[in-house]
Structure 1
Amino acid sequence: VDARTKEPLAGAVVQIEGVTNQTQTDADGKFNLVTGQSFPYNLIVSYLGYEKQKVTVSGSPVTVELKEITNELSGIVVTGYNTQKKQDFTGSAARVSAKQIANRPAQSFDQLIGGQAAGVNIVQPSGVLNAAPVFRIRGVNSISSGIYPLIVIDGVPSFTGQQGGNVGNNPLSNLNPGDIESIDVLKDASATAIYGSRAANGVVVVTTKKGRSGKTKVNYDAWVNVSTPANLPELLDASQYVAIKNEAMVNAGRQPGFALQTRSDGSTVNTNWYDVAYHNGVSQNHNVSFSGATEATNYFISLAYGKQNGILRTNDQDQKTARINLEHKLFNNITLGTHIGYNNTLGRGPATGSLPGQYIGTDALSRMTYVLPPNVAVYNEDGSYNIQDKQRVGYGANNANAASAGYVGNINAYNLQLILD
């Protein structure tokens, strides 16, 4: 319940400390947690906008009171051309700070913002690296038109390549997460007063870092992670597959027609299509930045390199980014500045059988692991592919080269603002 009003909090997350077992409170603020642990143990209760609470439980029932985070009103909200104190801002907005996303390995910021801002829902429909996410603010606002919010980086609206319900380019993937100072999500109609009809689906305002007073600060951070396929359904091996298929033929009143295949050396073909399509993807990221400020000038310079490998063998991404943020105060009310960003991305993606923003189709590479028979070899004995291009097996097409590669094109944006106090 709320510690001040004593009102129930619906949707609060309740978890036993040290284990993954958790549940959520219902509309009345009640919860039921089934566990094999004996009393006493610690419960951790968290709710957006409230301080996390840890309590020791010696029996049931138990009541947990959460205190609202009151210091959020002292923060600021970046709107369009200025900043406002949160207590003076009448619209609906959520802020995600650099502290909230620090030390979390991700190649793109959209992988980090999910779960950090109320009313913001981000889904990766295909899992392909650098694919545009399904980005919704307060649900779906249009049936036939686009649902992607307007992305504004340092005052410049970013091109997303949006057409209808699909987004061809992911602007947040072009921005190094280490360069981000804060993100403000404007969620209601007040955003359209600044950005017009483009803000009908909300606005994501990204502010990059600046130099701070003092000596030059050098920062280097790096991470390495390993992704592995999880919860894959167990498939039949070649012998089991042939037996089941022949049994089905007999049950249908037909002659059995399936058999194991043997190679010239006498070995039996038994293909595990999971091993053909999947592997453990190793990713790494390196980021170095230089920042500082004098009385009149502040600067922030960063260089980053990231190499990401997906769990599908034909899905990888190589990315290089650089940024220079420079501001110089000429007079008391005149400041000149430049924000220059560079991004070079080369990615290979498997066939998903779908358009950007849609879910995986029937001819996707990952689906082929389910429909291709295990008694068929991947390669002929001469080393050539045994699967013919566009040959139909089960559902969808088997593409011998089910990967495509390409560079992200150049995107230039310019913004000139003259704001007099």
Structure 2
Amino acid sequence: MKNAYKTCSTRGLYSLLLLALVLAGHSATAQVNKHPLSGKITAAKDNSPLPGASVAVKGTTTGTITSATGDFTLQVSDADSLEVSLIGFNRQTIAVKGRTSITIALEDGTTGLDEIVVVGYGTEKKRLNTGAIGRVNGAALEETHTLRVDQALQGQTPGIQVTSNSAQPGEPMKVRIRGTGTIGNSDPLYIVDGMPVSDISYLNSGDVASMDVLKDAASAAIYGARAANGVVIVTTKKGRKGNMQVSYDGFYGQQNPARKLPLLDAHEYGIIMNEAAINSNRAPYFSVEQINQLGKGTDWQEAIFNKHAPTQSHTVNVSGGSEKSVYSSSLSYMKQEGTIGFKGQSQYERLAFRLSSEHYMYKDVVKFGENFTYTLSNKKGVGVGTSIITPFALL
């Protein structure tokens, strides 16, 4: 029995040694068979490069991040599979199968609540911060065809009050993110492409790619005391690599009051004036014959309306670029006539030109560019709270 036990132990030891040698040889063979794989990650929607995408070898700690042009390089074997992921896109797993170059197109994905959102100097999961940041994308702006950028926030972001000071064309909107937070001025801080501005009326809504509203103190902490009333971050459209593209967006419409106030005509007004005089122990202003002669009189409310007031907006955008430079430029014209006042008395007209470009140098280490906007506007109209026609002229 002792000899049989020794024989079994010896055979088991030989088997373990043989298995270890096989595994070591297999590992060495796999190590020898590794080869470089170069690739590019693009968006399936428009084939634009996706920088910052994570490319990892499945089941290992080997991985990399794509460059500003969407390119990457990895050491892989034929049996490996790549896992590609990027926030806002669906994750993909691709088998190498002996390839030395590969192009992977990622499909747009729904925004997950576990995504990371930059808030001030730190980060938080979006599901923990979903009420602190509101977002309006460029598609919503194109659908609503707003004449002013701040008007696009109306009804699009919960918890934000956006009201108009008057119906005068070109009048700014009153935006309240955190209520009346400071004395005298409760307007939020506007950040356009990283630059703080006090007003965004010079922007054309067709040039805006997205708008983010920072509501609470944590998300707006990086801007300090200036963010006491909240922050609105505006990002304009940028160029993309590819052939030059020319696009046009415009509309034309007419405006009329939806309803009018039920006012008295001249005959009814004369009766009311007589009743007021009698109630004050005074003689009536008009006799019965005079009241009957007044008739309907002039409808002064109808007279002050500008019927079928036109409103129009036209934008031409040119964009494109190469591996090293991208550009986007636009020329826009907008005009709106008011519905109150005589024709031409109340109107707002704006002509705007925008140029934006980015250039990469020294293997994408250095990037420089510019955002240039020129706006020429003309506004005239009826002052808020003033009268332009006196209804007592009939007396």
Fold match, TM over 0.5?
yes
The AA in structure 1 aligned to 2:382 is P
C-alpha displacement of 1:85: 8.2
Q: Which protein has the larger Cα radius of gyration, Structure 1 or Structure 2?
A: 2
Question: Which residues in structure 2 correspond to 1:296-311 (within 5 Å)?
Answer: 296-311=324-339
Cα deviation 1:111-159 (Å, max 9, x = unaligned): 21111112211011322222222211133323x2421100010111003
TM superposition shift of 1:351:
1.5
Counterparts of residues 97-108 of structure 1 (less than 5 Å):
97-108=137-148
Alpha-carbon distance, 1:84 to partner: 9.2
Go from structure 1 to structure 2 and tell me whether the alpha carbon gap of 1:72 and 1:310 turns closer, same or farther (over 3 Å shift): farther
Q: Does 1:140 align with 2:180?
A: yes
One-letter amino acid matched to 2:361: L
Seen in structure 2, the aligned counterparts of structure 1 residues 259 and 211 have a Cα distance that, compared at 3 Å, is farther
Say yes or no: does 1:271 pair with 2:336.
no
Structure 2 counterparts to residues 29-68 of structure 1, below 5 A: none
- The Cα of 1:243 is off from its aligned counterpart by 2.4
Distance 2:252 2:158 in 1: 29
The residue that corresponds to 2:30 in the other structure is: none
CA 1:247/1:118 → structure 2, altered by over 3 Å: closer, same or farther? closer
Match of 2:350 among 315, 319, 326: 319
Aligned AA (2:315): N
Distance 1:215 1:81 in 2: 38
TM-score by length of 1: 0.60
Percent of residue pairs bearing the same amino acid type: 36
TM-score if structure 2 supplies the norm length? 0.63
Which segment drifts farther, 321-330 or 87-96?
Answer: 87-96
Instruction: Tell me the alpha carbon deviations over residues 176-224 of structure 1, each in whole angstroms, 9 at most, x when there is no partner.
Output: 0000011111111124531110101111000000112221111111111
Q: How does 1:159-198 map to 2 (within 5 A)?
A: 159=198, 171-198=199-226
Residue equivalent to 1:255: 283
Q: Which position in structure 2 is the counterpart of 1:152?
A: 191
Name which of 284, 293, 296 aligns with 2:312.
284
* Partner residue, 2:244: 216
Q: Paired residue for 1:125, among 146, 165, 180?
A: 165
Equivalent in the alignment of 2:361: 330
- CA contact 1:77–1:95 (8 Å) conserved in 2: no
Shift in alpha-carbon separation, 1:80–1:342, aligned structure 2, 3 A = farther
Q: Per the alignment, in what secondary structure is the counterpart of residue 253 of structure 1?
A: coil
* Counterpart AA for 1:125: N
1:123 corresponds to which letter in structure 2? Answer: T
Distance of 1:107 and 1:82 partners within structure 2 = 36
Which amino acid counterpart does residue 276 of structure 2 have in structure 1?
A: A
In the other structure, the counterpart of 1:372 is 391
Gap change, CA 1:74 and 1:308, over 3 Å in 2: farther
Report runs of 4+ in structure 1 exceeding 3 Å deviation: 72-91, 266-269
Q: Distance in 2 between matches of 1:98 and 1:337?
A: 22
Q: How far apart in 1 are the matches of 2:172 and 2:353?
A: 21
- What 5-or-longer segments of structure 1 have no aligned partner? 1-68, 160-170, 354-363, 377-421
Q: Number of residues paired by the alignment?
A: 280
Q: Deviations over 1:13-69 (max 9, x none)?
A: xxxxxxxxxxxxxxxxxxxxxxxxxxxxxxxxxxxxxxxxxxxxxxxxxxxxxxxx9
Structure 2 unaligned residues grouped into runs of 5+: 1-108
The residue that corresponds to 1:204 in the other structure is 232
Q: SS state of the match for residue 226, structure 1?
A: strand
Q: Distance in 1 between matches of 2:337 and 2:132?
A: 38
Report if aligned partners of 1:124, 1:134 keep a CA contact under 8 Å in 2.
Answer: yes
Tell me the CA shift for residue 74 of structure 1. 7.6
Judge conservation of contact 2:119–2:221 (CA < 8 Å) in 1.
no
CA distance in 1, matches of 2:110, 2:248: 34
Counterpart among 241, 250, 265 of residue 269 in structure 2: 241
Q: By percentage of residues, which structure has more helix?
A: 2
Q: Deviation at 1:349?
A: 2.5
2: distance between equivalents of 1:289 and 1:79? Answer: 32
Q: Does the aligned pair in 2 maintain the 1:122–1:135 contact within 8 Å? A: yes
**Is the 2:118–2:219 Cα contact (8 Å) retained in structure 1?**
no
Whether the 8 Å CA contact 2:119–2:220 is kept in 1: the answer is no
Alpha-carbon distance between aligned partners in 2 of 1:299 and 1:121, rounded to the nearest angstrom:
35
- Which residue type is aligned with residue 197 of structure 2? S
Q: Is 1:342 the counterpart of 2:342 in the alignment?
A: no
Q: Is the 8 A contact 1:289 1:301 kept in 2?
A: yes
Contact 2:360 2:367 in 1 (8 A): yes
Structure 1 residues 132 and 324: alpha-carbon distance in aligned structure 2, compared to 1, 3 A threshold: same
Q: How does 1:404-415 map to 2 (within 5 A)?
A: none
The structural deviation recorded for 1:267 is 10
Equivalent position SS for 1:102: helix
Alpha-carbon distance change, 154 to 114 in structure 1, aligned in 2, over 3 angstroms: same
